[in-house]
Amino acid sequence: MSPDQFQAPDYFLLDELLTEEHKLVRDTCREWVKREVSPIIEDAAQAAKFPSQLLGGLAEIGAFGPYIPEEYGGAGLDQISYGLIMQEIERGDSGIRSTASVQSSLVMYPIWKYGDENQKQKYLPKLASGEFIGCFGLTEPNHGSNPGGMETRFKDMGDHYLLNGAKLWISNSPFADIAVVWAKNEEGRIHGLIVERGMEGFSTPETHHKWSLRASATGELIFDNVKVPKENLLPNKSGLGAPLGCLDSARYGIAWGVIGAAMDCYDTALRYAKERSQFGKPIAGFQLQQKKLAEMITEITKAQLLTWRLGVLRNENRATSAQISMAKRNNVEMALNIARESRQILGAMGITGDYSIMRHMMNLESVITYEGTHDIHLLITGMDITGIAAFT
C-alpha cells in the first residue's frame, strides 16, 4: 500500500463555516486515520479480518457516541462534529466507519433515547470506552427493506421474556458483547431488547465470502429460546418508529461518511493523473481525464454543502427523516460514481491493493444497500413530495 498522502479538497472554503472545535475534532480524526488505519487497512481487508486493535483508538477520538452526553461517557459534541468524525473514518475505510456508526447510532442511541436510567448507567459508559461493542438486529432473512414484517418474537413468561427468531447481515455481530434486537411481542408490537453474549440459546455465526466491507465483521443473530431478563427491554419507545428513529441518526452519519471515501478516491486519482505520463505528457493534461476530475470535485462540493446544511438542521432539531434519506441516497451514489471513475484514471494500477480506490468501491456497494437501499430512499422522497406511499 502506498503511503497515505491524503489532502482534503475544500473547493468552496467550507472550513470557514466550521467552528474551532469542529476543525480540532476533524483534524484529530484525520491524523489518527493516517497514523493507525491507513498502514493496516489494506491487509485487513485482503485477509477479511476486522482490525480489532483499532477499537481503543476509535473510543479515544470520540467515535463511540460523539453526541451522547458526557455524563454517560459520550463526547457531548454537536451533529456537525459527529458528521466530520464519520467522514474522516470512512476516508480510511467504510467498514471501520460501520463499526463506529453501529456502536454510536444503533446501539448507544436507542439505549440513550429509549432506555431507562439503569440501562443507561450500565451500558453507555462501557460502550463509549470500547469495553463493550454492540450490534443492531433489525434485518431478517425474509425481511430486509420491509422490517415491519419481522418474525422474531418474544413471549412474557412472568419473570423473563423468551426470545425466538433470527437476524441476518448484522455488522459487528460475531464479536459484539451486546445486541439491541428488535422483536414483536404477543400483540405484534415491536420492542427493543438488549441481548448479552453468553445468554443461553444466543449465537452469532459469521457471514463469510463477502467481496465488500471485508474489514468489517458481519454475521447472524440466532435466538433459540433465549431467556431475556425483563429489565433488558427498552421501555420508552415501541413500534417500528423506534428502530427507524435510530436509522435516521446512522443514515445521517453515512451521508457524511461517504464524502470521506469520495475525497480519498478523488485525491488519489488527481495525484496519479498529474504524475502518470502517456503520449509524452501527464494524463491530467488530457480533456477526458480533466472532465472526470472536474465533475468529481463538483459533486463532492455539492455533497459537502448538503451535509453541512443538514448538520445545521440536525443541531436545531429541524431535519426531517426524508431530508436525511435524500442526503444518504445522493451522497452514496456520488461516492460510488467517483470511486468507479477514479479507478479508471489509475488504469490497471486501480485494481490493485496498492491504492485504496478499489476497496472503497467494493465497500460502497454495501453502503448503497444497507441502512435502506437506494430504491427505498428514492421512494421515501417520492412519498414525502407526493403524500402517497409507493412501497406496496
Q: State the residues that interact with ligand FAD by CB under 6 A.
A: 102, 135-139, 144-145, 169-171, 213, 218, 366, 369-370, 373, 375-376, 379, 391
- If the CB atoms of residues 80 and 250 are measured against ligand TGC, the closer one turns out to be 250
What number of H helices and E strands is found in the chain? 12, 9
Q: How far is the CB of 235 from ligand TGC (least distance, A)?
A: 17
Binding site partner of 119, from ligand TGC, ligand FAD, none, Cβ cut-off 5-8 A by kind: none
Q: How far is the CB of 306 from ligand TGC (least distance, A)?
A: 18
Q: How far is the CB of 321 from ligand TGC (least distance, A)?
A: 3
- If the CB atoms of residues 70 and 375 are measured against ligand FAD, the closer one turns out to be 375
Binding site partner of 380, from ligand FAD, ligand TGC, none, Cβ cut-off 5-8 A by kind: ligand TGC
Alpha-carbon span 64 to 99, nearest angstrom: 9
Show the CA angle centred on residue 331, arms to residues 327 and 332, nearest 5°: 115
- If the CB atoms of residues 42 and 248 are measured against ligand TGC, the closer one turns out to be 248
Strands (E), the chain: 134-137, 153-156, 160-171, 178-184, 190-196, 202-203, 218-229, 277-278, 281-282
Q: How far is the CB of 247 from ligand FAD (least distance, A)?
A: 9
Residue nearest to ligand FAD (CB): 144
Q: State the residues that interact with ligand TGC by CB under 6 A.
A: 98, 101-102, 136, 138-139, 145-148, 171, 239-241, 244-245, 247-248, 250, 321, 370-372, 376, 380, 391
Binding site partner of 355, from ligand FAD, ligand TGC, none, Cβ cut-off 5-8 A by kind: none
Phi, psi for 12 (deg, rounded to 5): -105, 25
Task: Calculate the CA dihedral of residues 298, 300, 304, 310 and round it to 10 degrees.
Answer: 100
Cβ atoms of 154 and 181 within 8 Å: the answer is no
Residue 371 bears catalytic tag: yes
Point out the catalytic residue in the list 88, 90, 341, 371: 371
Give the C-alpha distances (Å, rounded to integers) separating 25 from 172, 201, 221, 264, 270.
25, 42, 34, 19, 26
Alpha-carbon span 89 to 86, nearest angstrom: 5
Q: How far is the CB of 276 from ligand FAD (least distance, A)?
A: 33
Residues in the chain: 392
Cβ atoms of 363 and 92 within 8 Å: the answer is no
Q: Which residues are catalytic?
A: 371
